Every structure is written in structure tokens, then in C-alpha cells.
A = this chain, B = another copy of it.
Amino acid sequence: MSLKRLVPRMDESESRAWLGLTGVLQLLPGALETQLQRDAGLTHFEFVVLSALRFAPDSTMRMSALAAATDSTLTRLSHVCSRLEKRDLVERSSSPGDKRATDVRLSSHGRRELILATPAHIASVRRLVIDALTPEQLESLANVTETILAQLTDGTHCETALTRDPASPSEPAG
């Protein structure tokens, strides 16, 4: 199911592009999650967190810095680090300089697990995306995704359609 029927004005090319993109949006994250989970028992986000720590000096970062590095939230990261700590993949300690802050460190066990997990994940990425595309397609993909990202991070949000009562977003009786 898609928006195809909702958008009669969508021409053939637009329709194909949109259907393809939504398909990838639905399937690719799941495929990567599945592979990582099966091979390493890690969430993709956990993998990203551990990988960020791996290349940090002393394998250590502040929570807030790690949240920024992983495009995440402090809240989310805190929950995830709690779980990772229970599994002895990271260690948390109060930061010496600023006692509000806490430093997260990749444990040696975490490093081992991460190093074991990485090759298979990279292989998946290559198999599913990179090696499946020609150099020209890769160039196009880079080009197109950068354009879309520009839209997504563009400050000028048109605030499309609050033609309805803004106070009650879901309950206005027609």
C-alpha cells in the first residue's frame, strides 16, 4: 500500500521513485537490525554507540558528547547505556572534572564483542547497498540523498495545513 492512489497527479517517474523509497525505508533498517541481532545480539543503535566509543581517546566519552556523536538524545542514550552496562559492554563513571557529567567507557569485553560484530555488519551493508550499485548509481544516490537531507534540515518549514482548529488535532467533529 502506498500513496499512489491518493496522488493521481503523480506521474510514472514520481510514483516509481516514491514507491521505491518507501520500500527501502521499510525494509532496509529491518534487514540491518536483523543481521546485527542475529550475529552479535546488538541493536543497530547499540552498534553505533559502541563504534563511537571505540575510536574515542581512551575509549571514553561524556554522555552528552556521545549523544551528539550518535545523533541521539541524552535520554535515549542513558537507557541504552544502562542496558549495555548490565551486559558489561561499557562502564560508567562520574567525570572527574565536572561531577554532573558521567563518562562512558568501552570495556575490554565490549571492545572484543564489537570487533567480532563489525565485519559481518559491514558485509551486510556492502551486499545490500554498496556493492549492488554501479558507480554511477552510487553517485546518483549520494546526490539525491543529499538533496533530500537539505530539505529535511531546511529551516523554512512551510507548516503545511493547519486549516483546522489547531487546539484539537484529532477530535474535531466534521
Contact = CB atoms under 8 A, between A and B. Distances in A.
B158 A129 contact: no
Contacts of A161: 39, 119-120, 123
A125 to B, nearest CB: 6
Given A71-B26, A115-B168, A147 B140 contact: no
B141 A128 contact: no
A116 B24 contact: no
A17 B130 contact: yes
A69 B1 contact: yes
A41 B171 CA distance: 9
Given A3-B122, A123-B158, A132 B112 contact: no
A51 B6 contact: yes
Contacts of A19: 142
Interface residues of A, number: 95
B149 A6 contact: no
B24 A149 contact: yes
Contacts of A116: 164, 166, 172, 174
A165 interface: yes
A168 B38 CA distance: 10
Contacts of A54: 172
Given A120-B160, A120-B165, A170 B3 contact: no
A116 to B, nearest CB: 5
